[in-house]
């Protein structure tokens, strides 16, 4: 078994605990180099995680002959560019989610990697976590009979003024960098439903910005139909007075409730009977998926989160948000016309 030598582009918050340590704790895996445009921060990460070297230039990672694969952990607006550069250099890429800013960009990334004959994986790491594998197995075993529909709900407290100014929230709420709070986060739910129930075929939706705390959507409703015939609905609001989030898989003989974002016990409900299954998450949540990538590169198994699977989620996100985004574009054009900036 060979040791897969990784280079990391971007070593911010997500890499500190969730992903970074997984690259040197997985079997047959080594984190050889990290890059960040701020060299001092890259050096600090390398020192604390015992990474042999650091850089402030992405080419030092992408073009390095001793790096076998690249983890792209930058903001969403750069995923497309870095993936194309990795493909051009003949390097396999593991890119953070959301995969890109649009479905069209995802298709370009897939095409470039196919042309270069290198694999492309995406950081929808819940596909490798025991908690979600347990839900998938319950569904497959017939624990709730035939699946009829899915109900997704997420309410989140209105962010305060200081939160909105913080870098952690500001880039996510910026349409040009993170795509919006909904766009940046809900892919995890849509992707894990794809993993458990198969692709979503059709979508109908409404989205708006009610609170005007930031420019992107803050309230969204959607209905969808899976290729299998299962139906689904979702409601998301990010400017409420409380936090609440769950997913219900409704079957002919019961239902399963689980959380996308919090490792609370899985609840299996059949009539008046409720069974709770406590399944926790590992400390480094990316590590199981990283292990599957390393194993695949060694010819053992396959990683379940690919460019193709992530592109399906990107297509659904685009479908949910297309009308809202088009409305924003038209409003901006109208304002520009009124101000005389458009002839």
Contact 237, 156 (CB under 8 A): yes
Q: How far is CA 24 from CA 21, 52, 265, in A?
A: 6, 11, 29
CA distance 115 to 133: 32
In this structure, the answer to whether residues 169 and 242 fall within a common structural domain is: yes
Is residue 24 in a domain? yes
Is residue 15 in a domain? yes
Is residue 61 in a domain? yes
According to the model, what pLDDT value does residue 343 have?
47
Is residue 172 in a domain? yes
| Maximum distance among all Cα pairs of the chain, rounded to whole angstroms | 66
The CB density around residue 273, as the number of other CB atoms within 10 Å, is 8
Q: What is the DSSP pairing of strand 120-122 with strand 93-95? A: parallel
Contact 98, 184 (CB under 8 A): yes
CA atoms within 13 Å, Cβ hemisphere of 93? 33
Region 68-85: what's the mean pLDDT? 97
Region 306-326: what's the mean pLDDT? 97
In this structure, the answer to whether residues 210 and 267 fall within a common structural domain is: yes
In this structure, the answer to whether residues 35 and 119 fall within a common structural domain is: yes
Residue 168 has pLDDT above 80, yes or no: no
CA distance 177 to 170: 9
Residue 236 has pLDDT above 50, yes or no: yes
Residue 341 has pLDDT above 80, yes or no: no
Residue 248 has pLDDT above 90, yes or no: yes
Please write the tens of the pLDDT for every residue from 178-203. Answer: 889 999 999 999 999 999 999 999 99
Instruction: Tell me which residue of 23, 180, 194, 171 sits closest to 124, measured CA to CA.
Output: 194
Which residues have CB under 8 Å from 58's CB, separation 6+?
Answer: 9, 35, 82, 85
Is residue 148 in a domain? yes
Cα 205 to chain centroid distance, Å, stands at 20
Task: Give the range of the structural domain holding residue 219, as residue numbers without chain letter.
Answer: 131-281
In this structure, the answer to whether residues 259 and 135 fall within a common structural domain is: yes
Domain with residue 24: its CATH number is 3.40.50.720
In this structure, the answer to whether residues 110 and 13 fall within a common structural domain is: yes
Contact 15, 44 (CB under 8 A): no
Contact 32, 53 (CB under 8 A): yes
SS3 225: strand
Residue 64 has pLDDT above 80, yes or no: yes
Across the beta sheet with 200-208, the strand order is 200-208, 219-226, 231-240, 147-157, 244-251, 255-258, 266-270, 273-277
pTM score: 0.95
Domain with residue 263: its CATH number is 3.30.360.10
CA distance 299 to 302: 8
Is residue 333 in a domain? no
∠ CA(119), CA(123), CA(126), 5° rounding? Answer: 125
The CB density around residue 238, as the number of other CB atoms within 10 Å, is 25
In this structure, the answer to whether residues 70 and 146 fall within a common structural domain is: no
Is residue 164 in a domain? yes
Is residue 85 in a domain? yes
In this structure, the answer to whether residues 276 and 135 fall within a common structural domain is: yes
80 burial via Cβ count (<10 Å: 0-12, 13-18, 19+): buried
- Residue 230's φ and ψ, nearest 5 degrees, are -70, 140
In this structure, the answer to whether residues 271 and 295 fall within a common structural domain is: no
Q: How far is CA 253 from CA 143, 271, 276, in A?
A: 8, 8, 17
CA-CA-CA-CA dihedral for 312, 157, 217, 247, to nearest 10: 30
According to the model, what pLDDT value does residue 99 have?
98
According to the model, what pLDDT value does residue 309 have?
98
Q: What is the tally of structural domains in the chain?
A: 2
Which residues have CB under 8 Å from 78's CB, separation 6+?
Answer: 72
Q: What is the DSSP pairing of strand 69-72 with strand 4-9? A: parallel
Residue 274 has pLDDT above 70, yes or no: yes
Task: Please state, rounded to an integer, the average pLDDT across all residues of the chain.
Answer: 95
In this structure, the answer to whether residues 157 and 269 fall within a common structural domain is: yes
The CB density around residue 54, as the number of other CB atoms within 10 Å, is 22
Region 260-276: what's the mean pLDDT? 97
In this structure, the answer to whether residues 163 and 274 fall within a common structural domain is: yes
In this structure, the answer to whether residues 257 and 135 fall within a common structural domain is: yes
In this structure, the answer to whether residues 119 and 158 fall within a common structural domain is: no
């Amino acid at each position: 078994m060979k040791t897969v030598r990784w280079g990391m582009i971007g070593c911010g918050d997500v890499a500190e605990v969730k992903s970074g340590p997984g690259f040197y704790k997985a079997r047959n895996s080594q984190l050889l180099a990290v890059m960040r445009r701020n060299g001092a921060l890259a050096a600090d990460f390398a020192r604390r995680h015992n990474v042999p070297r650091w850089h402030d230039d992405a080419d030092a990672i992408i073009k390095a002959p001793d790096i076998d694969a690249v983890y792209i952990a930058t903001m969403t607006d750069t995923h497309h560019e870095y993936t194309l550069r990795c493909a051009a250099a003949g390097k396999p890429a593991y890119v953070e989610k959301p995969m890109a800013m649009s479905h069209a960009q995802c298709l370009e990334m897939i095409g470039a990697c196919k042309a270069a004959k290198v694999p492309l994986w995406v950081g929808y790491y819940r596909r490798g976590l025991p908690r979600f594998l347990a839900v998938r197995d319950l569904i497959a075993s017939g624990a709730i009979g035939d699946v009829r529909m899915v109900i997704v709900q997420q309410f989140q407290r209105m962010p305060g003024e200081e939160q909105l100014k913080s870098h952690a929230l500001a880039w996510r709420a910026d349409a040009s960098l993170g795509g919006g709070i909904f766009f940046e986060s809900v892919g995890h739910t849509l992707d894990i439903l794809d993993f458990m129930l198969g692709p979503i075929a059709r979508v109908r939706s409404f989205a708006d910005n009610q609170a005007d705390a930031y420019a992107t959507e803050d309230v969204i409703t959607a209905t969808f139909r899976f290729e299998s015939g299962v139906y689904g609905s979702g409601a998301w609001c990010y400017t409420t007075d409380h936090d609440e989030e769950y997913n219900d898989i409704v079957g002919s003989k019961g239902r399963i409730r689980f959380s996308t974002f919090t490792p609370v016990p899985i609840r299996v409900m059949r009539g008046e009977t409720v069974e709770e299954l406590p399944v926790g998450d590992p400390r480094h949540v990316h590590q199981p998926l990283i292990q599957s990538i390393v194993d695949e590169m060694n010819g053992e198994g396959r990683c379940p989160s690919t460019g193709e699977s992530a592109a399906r989620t990107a297509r659904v996100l685009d479908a949910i948000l297309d009308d809202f985004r088009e409305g924003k574009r038209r409003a901006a054009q109208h304002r520009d016309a009124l101000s005389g900036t458009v002839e």
